[in-house]
Amino acid sequence: MANTADRVSTRGRRRSGASSLAWSILSFLVVAAITFLGLITVTFFIGRVIPIDPVLAIVGDRAPASVVAAARKQYGFDLPLWDQYLLYLTKALKGDFGNSVLSTYPVMDDIRRVLPATLELATVGTIIGLLLGIPLGVLAAVKRDSLIDQIVRVIGLVGYSVPIFWLGLMGLLVFYARLGWVEGPGRIGVAYEYSFTPITGLFLVDAILQGDWDVFRDVFRHIILPGALLGYFSMAYISRMTRSFMLNELSQEYIVAARAKGLSETRVIWGHALRNAAVPLVTVIALSYATLLEGSVLTETVFAWPGIGSYLYNSLQNADMNAVLGGTIVIGALFIALNLLSDLLYRVLDPRTRT
> Which residues bind to other proteins, rule: CB under 8 A?
2-3, 6-7, 10, 13, 252-254, 256-264, 267, 271-272, 275-276, 279, 349-352, 355
In the complex with other proteins, which residue's Cβ is closer, 1 or 49?
Answer: 1
**Non-local CB neighbours of 219 within 8 Å, separated by 6+ positions:** 187, 188, 203, 204, 207
The least distance separating other proteins from the CB of residue 256, rounded to whole angstroms, comes to 6
Nearer to other proteins, 153 or 267 (CB): 267
Give the integer Cα–Cα distance in Å for 234 and 294: 13
Residue 208, strand partner residues: none
Contact 273, 301 (CB under 8 A): no
**Least distance between other proteins and beta carbon 148 (Å):** 15
Long-range contacts (CB closer than 8 Å, 24 or more residues apart) made by 56-64: 57/101, 57/318, 57/319, 57/320, 57/321, 58/101
Cα–Cα distance measured from residue 252 to residue 254, given in angstroms and rounded to the nearest whole number: 6
* CA–CA distance, 335 with 122 (Å, rounded to integer): 13
If the CB atoms of residues 1 and 179 are measured against other proteins, the closer one turns out to be: 1
Q: How far is the CB of 144 from other proteins (least distance, A)?
A: 9
- Shortest Å, Cβ 254 to other proteins: 5
Least CB distance from residue 147 to other proteins, whole Å?
Answer: 16
Nearer to other proteins, 14 or 91 (CB): 14
Q: Give the nearest distance from C-beta 222 to other proteins in angstroms.
A: 41
Helix (H) or strand (E) holding 209: helix 203-209
Provide, rounded to whole angstroms, the least separation between the CB of residue 354 and other proteins: 9
Buried b vs exposed e over 163-198: b needs ≥16 C-beta within 10 Å? ebeebbeebbeebbeeeeebbeeebbbeebeeebeb
In the complex with other proteins, which residue's Cβ is closer, 276 or 322?
276
CA-to-CA separations, 197 to 82, 187, 202, 281, 307, in angstroms, rounded: 43, 13, 11, 37, 17
CB nearer to other proteins: pick between 60 and 271: 271
Q: Which is nearer to other proteins, 68 or 263 (CB)?
A: 263
